[in-house]
Amino acid sequence: MRRMAFRMSVHGDRHQDYAKRHNPIWPELEDTLLAHGVRSYSIYLDPETSDLFAYAEIESEERWQAIASTDVCRRWWRHMRELMPSNPDNSPVSRDLRELFHIESPPGDGPGEGRSGGATS
């Protein structure tokens, strides 16, 4: 699995519209994302700057890139283009972010269990 993050933005007067269109997203789009190996996908808004921060966990870069060629993705881009800066193909203007730090507990380790998986004293 690969973790990825990227930045986009939404027009300052369209924050509520952007949120509404994602709550919920189209079931067909959600199905397409899952079918293409997206395991987790979150988008956060900084209301002061109108920046969007997206985080996704994907199975592969190739499958993620293939989403852009689906009909539902192209329709979603057209549906969203008036709310955010967009490229000539209607895809949102975005910039990939580089991961600098990550921490994750090993499988089976819960809070207070320590790295070995057992209780700490």
For residue 108, the model assigns a pLDDT of: 80
Please name the amino acid found at residue 72. V
For residue 102, how far is the Cα from the chain centroid?
17
Closest by CA position to 18, among listed 83, 62, 106, 79: 83
pTM of the shown model: 0.84
- Catalytic residue of the set 11, 15, 22, 79: 22
Residues 6+ apart with CB under 8 A from 87: 93
User: Residue ranges of the chain with pLDDT lower than 70?
Assistant: 110-121
User: At residue 30, what are phi and psi to the nearest 5 degrees?
Assistant: -60, -45
Fold entry, domain 2-96: Alpha-Beta Plaits (3.30.70)
Instruction: Tell me, yes or no, if 36 is annotated catalytic.
Output: no
Name the residue ranges covered by the structural domains of the chain.
Answer: 2-96
